[in-house]
């Protein structure tokens, strides 16, 4: 075709035709790439699209209500801070008979059950009493119910009379301040094993000072070199300042117990140990 012989109208039509063909080609390429993209990417795109659609609800003749959903972006940093704030009330420090803090533990039930690493207790005996310090400054007596040196897990329980006193004090404090802020809480477990690549947060309460907080990722799942049965998580989040404390995912669920720097006993081994206590009791 001789471009010089085309009149103005023909040039405009030709331009529109080229634009139309280009648009179709772009659409085909986009759909193909979306089909090949990882699920996480397409889900994120879909969520953004779904949350920015405008919904128009007809009103009266002269008015109408327009509702626009604005996307809210939550960063991983914000999720970690939320986990720390919500889990801090479950943290306790464990003291020996001399009142010296030996490590961390965490509350896992409203009945006052506390979990920690067995090795920080030294050479304990079932029924032995320990003092635990709560984050609000209260102290209570907790007795060792059962422990496993092989799995490095120990379960103790706060004395029932002292537990009642703590709860009564909590109720009175809430009534006096008209607030729902609680002095302590209980953590819950993730029901499945964590996977490599997930972000985790390890918390420690080794003394009466601020919480020790450390974040990292799960680098591997395996067996402990010092145990024939325990499943362990390899993560940089655990260190000497949070031994006996919980390892949490970004949803605030317990996925492990800080065992030693770089290692945590996995939630699977913890649950198996707790189930063995329930079965024999």
Residues 129, 165, 275, 279, Cα dihedral to 10°: 80
> Which stretches of the chain drop beneath a pLDDT of 50?
1, 31, 34, 37-55, 180-181
| Paired tokens of 263 | 């290692």
* CATH placement of domain 188-280: 2.40.10.10
Q: What pLDDT does residue 230 have?
A: 79
Examine domains 89-177 and 188-280 and report if their fold is the same. yes
Predicted structure pTM score: 0.72
Would you list the domain boundaries of the chain?
89-177, 188-280
Per the rule left: phi > 0, alpha: psi between -120 and 50, beta: everything else, 193 is: beta
* CATH placement of domain 89-177: 2.40.10.10
Q: Is residue 95 within 8 Å of 101, Cβ to Cβ?
A: yes
């Amino acid at each position: 075709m001789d471009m010089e012989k085309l009149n103005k109208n023909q040039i405009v039509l030709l331009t529109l035709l080229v634009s139309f063909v280009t648009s179709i080609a772009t659409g085909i390429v986009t759909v193909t790439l979306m089909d090949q993209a990882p699920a996480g990417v397409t889900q994120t795109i879909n969520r953004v699209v779904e949350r920015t659609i405008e919904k128009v609800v007809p009103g009266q003749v002269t008015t109408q209500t327009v509702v626009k959903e604005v996307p809210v972006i939550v960063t991983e940093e914000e999720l970690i801070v939320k986990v720390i704030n919500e889990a801090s009330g479950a943290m306790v420090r464990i003291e020996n008979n001399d009142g010296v803090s030996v490590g961390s533990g965490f509350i896992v039930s409203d009945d006052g059950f506390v979990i920690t690493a067995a090795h920080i207790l030294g050479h304990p005996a079932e029924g032995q009493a320990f003092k635990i310090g709560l984050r609000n400054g209260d102290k209570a007596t907790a007795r060792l119910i059962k422990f496993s040196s092989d799995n490095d897990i120990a379960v103790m329980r706060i004395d029932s009379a002292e537990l009642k006193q703590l709860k009564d004090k909590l109720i009175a404090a809430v009534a006096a301040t008209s607030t729902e802020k609680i002095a302590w809480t209980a953590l819950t477990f993730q029901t499945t094993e964590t996977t490599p690549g997930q972000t985790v947060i390890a918390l420690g309460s080794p003394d009466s000072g601020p919480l020790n907080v450390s974040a990292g990722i799960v680098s591997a799942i395996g067996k402990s070199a010092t145990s024939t049965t325990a499943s362990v998580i390899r993560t940089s989040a655990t260190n000497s300042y949070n031994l006996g404390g919980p390892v949490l995912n970004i949803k605030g669920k317990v996925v492990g117990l800080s065992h030693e720097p770089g290692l945590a006993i996995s939630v699977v081994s913890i649950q198996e140990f707790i189930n063995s206590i329930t079965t024999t009791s």
